[in-house]
Amino acid sequence: MAKSLVCGTVVLLCVVAIVGTATDRIGAAEAKIRPELIAQMDKQYEVAYEAFRQGDLEKAERICREIIRQMPSHRDAAELLRRIGQPRKQEKIRVLIATGGHDFDREGFFAMWDAFPAIAYREVEQRKGWEAMTPANLEACDVLVLYDMLQGITDAQKAAFEAFLKRGGGLVALHHCIASHQEWPDYERIIGAKYFLKPEVRDGKTLPKSTYKHGVVLPVHIADRKHPITRGMSDFEIHDETYGLFLVDPKVHVLLTADHPDSGKNICWTRREGKARVVYLQLGHDNNAYANPNYRKIVVRAVAWAAGRLGP
């Protein structure tokens, strides 16, 4: 009896040892592939989250289910899948409008913004330079709209602005802001153009002072009819102020052009600044423009595109 008990105990210990050894081997193999799998699934999760943010719930759900199939413990994918299954209320796009340095029709301008139900905006009226550019202001918005014309800028303000763009904040630059920050070359690169307040020498050539003219009936041509901002639009006329002799980066993606002796050819474009989507629109001097349905359509779509809510 005692001998049988001892033999049984030895057999049991051997089985435990064998199972334990096998488990250790499986664990070691898992540990070997897990970092690579985690990295792969995390990358897929980023794609799923971006699809979710842009409203492509079908794509986001498909990717999340595949992530969970391969890695059931991926909590972020499981949480996003839960959110996809809930009725989703589209949050308003948070817009910070920076003004200052140039007069404008405040009533007409903000009546236009009040007419955009998908946008929640806040104005910062700047009086002593680029005061809107603080980390607190920029962290609280999805899109920054520049409708200012200022020259004073500090290193801290530059850093806050650049950090906003680096994280993928959207930028919509309107009308006279093209003449801001004449002594900061990075601003010209970011906006994609420069309006010269005085003649400037470049590469041994003198570029003349830029021009403007009020009260022009300007024929506007849709240069790219497939872009999300201008898709479905037709050529139109607008009563507005024109700019001439301003410099445009040839690498920008042009959306609108004008054929008029008092206007530059390219008057609206997009570009990318790292993760940030940037739109510049030359139109928009007064209520003749603000009340124009085509102008409003371009502005609201520009904000949505810059926020990543409208197309690629």
pLDDT tens column, 252-277? 999 999 999 999 999 999 999 999 99
- Kindly report the length of the chain: 312
Among 48-52, 198-202, 279-283, the range scoring the smallest mean pLDDT is 48-52
185 and 292 Cβ atoms separated by less than 8 Å: no
pLDDT of residue 138: 96
pLDDT of residue 54: 67
Highest-scoring range by mean pLDDT, 12-21, 31-40, 77-86, 237-246: 237-246
Enumerate residues 6+ apart whose C-beta is below 8 A from 258: 218, 219, 220, 221, 242, 264, 265, 267
Q: Which domains does the chain have, with CATH numbers?
A: 2-85 (1.25.40), 93-306 (3.40.50.880)
pLDDT of residue 155: 95
Question: What is the distance between the alpha carbons of residues 297 and 276, in angstroms, rounded to a whole number?
Answer: 21
pLDDT of residue 13: 38
Among 37-51, 52-66, 136-150, 179-193, the range scoring the smallest mean pLDDT is 52-66
pLDDT of residue 21: 40
Question: What is the distance between the alpha carbons of residues 80 and 297, in angstroms, rounded to a whole number?
Answer: 32
pLDDT of residue 10: 40
Is the pLDDT reported for residue 27 higher than 80?
A: no
Q: What is the mean pLDDT of the chain?
A: 88
pLDDT of residue 25: 33
The model's pLDDT over 41-50, given as tens digits with 9 standing for 90+, comes to: 889 999 998 8
Question: What is the distance between the alpha carbons of residues 195 and 248, in angstroms, rounded to a whole number?
Answer: 9
Task: Give the residue with greater pLDDT, 306 vs 12.
Answer: 306
pLDDT of residue 91: 87
Question: What is the distance between the alpha carbons of residues 169 and 276, in angstroms, rounded to a whole number?
Answer: 5
Task: Give the residue with greater pLDDT, 247 vs 35.
Answer: 247
Furthest-apart CA atoms within the chain: distance in Å: 112
Across-strand partners of 201?
Answer: 206
Residue type, 49: Y
Question: What is the distance between the alpha carbons of residues 39 and 117, in angstroms, rounded to a whole number?
Answer: 39
Q: How confident is the model at residue 57 (pLDDT cuts 50, 70, 90)?
A: confident
Is the pLDDT reported for residue 23 higher than 80?
A: no
Can you tell me the mean pLDDT for 9-24? 38
The model's pLDDT over 75-123, given as tens digits with 9 standing for 90+, comes to: 899 998 888 776 555 689 999 999 999 999 999 999 999 999 999 999 9
Is the pLDDT reported for residue 20 higher than 80?
A: no
96 and 144 Cβ atoms separated by less than 8 Å: yes
Residue type, 92: K
Is the pLDDT reported for residue 304 higher than 70?
A: yes
124 and 131 Cβ atoms separated by less than 8 Å: yes
Burial class (CB in 10 A: 0-12, 13-18, 19+), 101: buried
